[in-house]
């Protein structure tokens, strides 16, 4: 998990605070603040993972625009962490319309 450097989640243009976002893999919930320090939980390329989040007010039924910006280290050796940002970063933006 340590190769995931940053995750930003926006719902309908509102940035979700990092302390309210959790990465879920194999029923383990990991807070974003801890993600970059984990080197003993592996996320396999075809394995399902989820982002769970809390909001202050309930989302209305209907369509919602979701944007997730990921920043990852190119050092993908799971037992090592790039805490000094020596390795290049790659960035990806995923957008989707979600329906409640």
Cα radius of gyration (the chain): 14
Provide the pLDDT for residue 72.
81
Tell which wins on pLDDT, 4 or 32: 32
pLDDT tens, 57-76?
889 999 999 999 988 877 76
Provide the pLDDT for residue 87.
82
> Would you call 34 helix, strand, or coil by DSSP?
helix
How much is the pTM? 0.78
- Give the Cα separation of 41 and 23 in Å (integer): 12
DSSP letter for 35, please.
Answer: H
Provide the pLDDT for residue 34.
84
Q: Under 8 Å CB-to-CB from 2, ≥6 apart: which residues?
A: 35, 36, 37, 38, 39, 73, 78, 80, 81, 82
């Amino acid at each position: 998990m340590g190769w995931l450097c940053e995750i930003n989640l926006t719902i309908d243009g509102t940035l979700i605070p990092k302390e309210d976002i959790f990465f879920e893999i194999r029923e383990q919930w990991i807070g974003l603040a801890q993600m970059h320090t984990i080197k003993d939980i592996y996320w396999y390329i075809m394995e399902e993972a989820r982002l769970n989040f809390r909001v202050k007010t309930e989302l209305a039924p209907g369509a919602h625009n979701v944007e997730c910006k990921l920043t990852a280290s190119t050092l993908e050796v799971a037992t090592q962490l790039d805490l000094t940002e020596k390795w290049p970063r790659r960035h990806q933006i995923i957008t989707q319309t979600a329906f409640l």
